[in-house]
Amino acid sequence: MTNHWNDIANADVVMIAGSNPASNHPIAFKHILEARKRGARIITIDPRFTRSANRSDLYCKLRPGTDIAFVNGMIRYALKNKKYHEAYVKWATNASFLLSPDFKLTDGLFSGFDAEKRAYDLTSWAYQKDEAGQIRSDPTLQAPDCVFQVLKAHVARYTPETVADVCGCEMKDFLAVSEAFCETGQPGKSGTMLYAMGLTQHTVGSQNVRAWAILQTLLGNMGIAGGGINAMRGESNVQGSTDFGLLFHILPGYLQTPIAADQLLADYIKRCTPATKDPTSANWLQNYPKYIVSHLKAMYGAAATKENDFCFNWLPKRSGNHSHMAIFEDMDKGRIKGAFFFGQNPAVGGPDTNRETQALANLDWLVAVDLWQTETANFWHHPYGGPPADVRTEVFLLPASASFEKEGSISNSGRWAQWRYKAVEPLGMAESDLWILDHLVRELKRLYGTEGGRFPDPIVNLAWDYEGGEEGIDVHKVAREINGYDDTTKKQVPSFAALKDDGTTVCGNWIYAGSYTDAGNMMARRDPTDAANRIGLYPKWAWCWPVNRRIIYNRASCDPDGVPWNPDKWVVKWDPTANEGKGGWLGDVPDGPWPPQDKRPFIMRPEGVACLFATSGMVDGPLPEHYEPMESVMRNRLSSTQNNPAAVLFQVPTQNAENFEEFLEKYPIIATTHRLSEHWQAGQMTRNITLLNELVPAMFVKMSLELAERLGIKNGDSVVVSSPRGRIEARAHVTRRIQPFRVNDRSVECIALPWHFGFIGESTGAPANRLTGHWGDANTSIPEYKVFLCNVQKGGTA
């Protein structure tokens, strides 16, 4: 989240799109209800009439996978009807920047596309620069090649008629949503955007979010109270896990993983550190070398010296895509010998579970670390697969302790790191993840130390000095190293501003610098006093990255003179009399100390402004363009480029241009997957609890009254759902909460499947992911769980 949970209550309009907080974030939904109590309007856009839609003032349905068409239509509405925040757009965005004449969009393809590599060369997505290397601009926004006009031309095709045709919604509903939300473009008004996996789990997932980010920027909703682009995380600590480098392409603090071309630390730093010649750009990431060097010192301690490049070459170098699906493809090809699954259950949660379960059988060993038996730990007696005796994989199940049975921090969606204590002892032999990792690392260090190995240095020299506490590993020592310290004085650093690139500071994760200082564990603070601006920042409650800044990009909440756009809900403001007349910021921790005119507000971009047009950062287009999902009921209405041309395909989808209609005859129904309040993720934490199984007792298929009638299906009947990947049996939940869509003047049905079920536990059922495909987003490789085609028939024994 750019903002945070409590801040939702400040919004004038709450937009719920690609998410269902009433179901999936029921506790947090109180912030939305609080906003409504204060007069806010709530809008939900979703293929299903969700529990959130039920509590909304406006609801508009849309066909799964058509968010970009919808949002580009809203952007067009805002531009055409002058609903955008003009002064904000001129000051805080790249709207006025001139673009290279080489940039083009031709029939759904941006310039620079290489069909063979399925990838773009980004050279033409560039600004015009003058002789001094400064970006050329037109402050009037009139030049035809300025970002503003290019954006306007780009979205001109997304008329309300086109939106209604593509999205399968009513034009009046689209217009009502556009009007209500774009009202927040007025200075002093705010609209928040709440999303989750409904936006991201698509082959255009990143661009879905981009589209909303562009709209939010045009409306001046970034950096303000009650605004922002807010990803509601689906796990209590999933924010923490990405902050700490869970994903294959990032190290802790969103530093990049090295690639083969980074032969020396200097090569890596040159590739990763952005540069600018604009004096009004703070370009915060010019500090990149300090963060990576301090991280290397945390990794390798005394072994990391300036002379040996701080052991940079001990970090693994990435050879390609190693995202979730890629790992399973590699397993399938026998390239991976063993795997640990910490609280992960891909035999239920992974896309195309048949494919992924088969891949598991190629492992020599598998370790599942979990609270319960999982389908993954039991894949070898997969009830749908071959005989267990054929599986050679040796499987270990390590019992893990639950959140209440261990101490440590949890980072919530709003970036607040909150310290938790152990409430009860773990059951039986269960141990915390930290204990398990500590024992594993110590044993590996011992074995590599005594027996050697192919490349023992990074393991033998890994700094691992956390001994203490009742578990043998002291979680506070880990947290203190994450915060960082001065290696000479051994004092904790107060913030990342104190980090250096000469090897004299140590810091595990630069964005957490300030979380555990010499003043104590800031994450453990529980002072509920609000800040002077009374907008619910609660700056002394826990700790928030970066530097306890509760709303990021907050300098954009002010005009170029530092005066808040909304004086009633100000986030920061410039006080010229502060600091003995030198001036200073009041309120939230600002995005840098500079006077308002000195630096532009978006300090993490080398341009210093928010990018309506992305010259870098996106691999599949500088602007969002509508493409159909990989399996679709409709040929692309906007261009002849049917799918995202840069989508990551680990499996060639069966549907193509030639067999399009033939495929549709076989699989005529749209399917989407979703979660429920009553069950959780892959189900092990809830399908073993009788009281929750009472609430949702069986795997079901949500279908419309029309579809049920046509197929002669009654509520509760067993049905068979099939896709080219597999088939499942489940019971029919016949409901008006899902309705067919109008596509090409005919009615197309859509079903919805919860994905919580599997074959282990007190309550069992077929995993919906037996039907989903092995392909995903161009930028993130997230699987396209949210839309595929299927067929539904009466039958089976569910």
Partner 1 sequence: MLKNPAILYDPLLCTGCRGCQVACKQWNGLQGESSGWFEGPSYTNPKWISANTWLLLQMHEETILDGKLVWAFTQRRCHHCTDPTCVSLCPAEPKAATRNEYGVVSIDPALCLGCGTCVENCPFGAPKLSEEYAIARKCTMCMDRQKVGKKPACVTTCPSGATLFGEREELVRIGRARVRKHKKGILYGLREGGGSSVLYVLPYGREYEGFPENPQSGIGVIGSLHRETRPALGGISGAGAVVLGSVALGLTKLAERKDKIRREEME
Binding site for partner 1 (CB under 8 A): 22-23, 26-27, 29-30, 33, 49, 51-52, 54-55, 59, 677-678, 690-698, 700, 716, 731, 733, 735-737, 763
Q: Is the dihedral of CA 168, 171, 173, 174 positive or negative?
A: positive
- For residue 749, the minimal CB distance to partner 1 (Å) is 17
Closest to partner 1 by CB, 568 or 762: 762
Cβ atoms 22, 14 nearer than 8 A? no
CA terminus-to-terminus distance, the chain: 40
* Cβ neighbour number for residue 616 with a 10 Å cutoff: 14
- For residue 705, the minimal CB distance to partner 1 (Å) is 8
Nearest of 216, 252, 150 to residue 613 by alpha carbon: 150
Closest to partner 1 by CB, 422 or 737: 737
Closest to partner 1 by CB, 558 or 751: 751
d(Cα 547, Cα 512) in Å, to the nearest integer?
A: 8
Q: What tokens appear for 13 in the block? A: 């309009």
Q: Is the dihedral of CA 215, 218, 220, 222 positive or negative?
A: positive
Nearest of 657, 792, 628 to residue 711 by alpha carbon: 792
Largest CA distance in the chain: 80
Closest to partner 1 by CB, 423 or 695: 695
- For residue 747, the minimal CB distance to partner 1 (Å) is 17
* Cβ neighbour number for residue 640 with a 10 Å cutoff: 10
- For residue 734, the minimal CB distance to partner 1 (Å) is 10
Q: What tokens appear for 313 in the block? A: 């070459």
d(Cα 409, Cα 411) in Å, to the nearest integer?
A: 7
d(Cα 673, Cα 123) in Å, to the nearest integer?
A: 38
Closest to partner 1 by CB, 29 or 125: 29
- For residue 756, the minimal CB distance to partner 1 (Å) is 14
- For residue 72, the minimal CB distance to partner 1 (Å) is 27
Distances (CA, A) of 492 to 390, 484, 489, 515, 521: 55, 6, 9, 10, 11
Closest to partner 1 by CB, 618 or 751: 751
DSSP character string of 301-330: GGG--TTTGGGGGGSPPB-S--SHHHHHHH
Closest to partner 1 by CB, 6 or 693: 693
Closest to partner 1 by CB, 28 or 493: 28
Cβ atoms 281, 606 nearer than 8 A? yes
Closest to partner 1 by CB, 51 or 154: 51
d(Cα 683, Cα 681) in Å, to the nearest integer?
A: 5
- For residue 341, the minimal CB distance to partner 1 (Å) is 29
| Secondary structure (3-state) at 86 | helix
Give the Cα-Cα-Cα angle 772, 777, 781 (nearest 5 degrees).
85
Q: At what angle do helices 147-155 and 67-80 cross, to 10 degrees?
A: 120
- For residue 794, the minimal CB distance to partner 1 (Å) is 16
Closest to partner 1 by CB, 82 or 736: 736
396 phi, psi to nearest 5 deg: -120, 140
Q: What tokens appear for 140 in the block? A: 């009037």
- For residue 732, the minimal CB distance to partner 1 (Å) is 10
Pairing of strands 788-794, 669-674: antiparallel
Nearest of 607, 603, 604 to residue 126 by alpha carbon: 607
Closest to partner 1 by CB, 302 or 691: 691
Cβ atoms 517, 492 nearer than 8 A? yes
Closest to partner 1 by CB, 489 or 690: 690
- For residue 591, the minimal CB distance to partner 1 (Å) is 33
Closest to partner 1 by CB, 294 or 693: 693
d(Cα 420, Cα 140) in Å, to the nearest integer?
A: 52
Cβ atoms 740, 706 nearer than 8 A? yes
Nearest of 83, 488, 546 to residue 291 by alpha carbon: 546
- For residue 692, the minimal CB distance to partner 1 (Å) is 7
Cβ atoms 111, 104 nearer than 8 A? yes
Cβ atoms 115, 95 nearer than 8 A? no
- For residue 787, the minimal CB distance to partner 1 (Å) is 22
- For residue 551, the minimal CB distance to partner 1 (Å) is 24
How many Cα atoms occupy the beta-carbon half-sphere of 611 within 13 Å?
21
- For residue 393, the minimal CB distance to partner 1 (Å) is 33
Closest to partner 1 by CB, 58 or 524: 58
Chain-centroid distance, C-alpha 793: 35
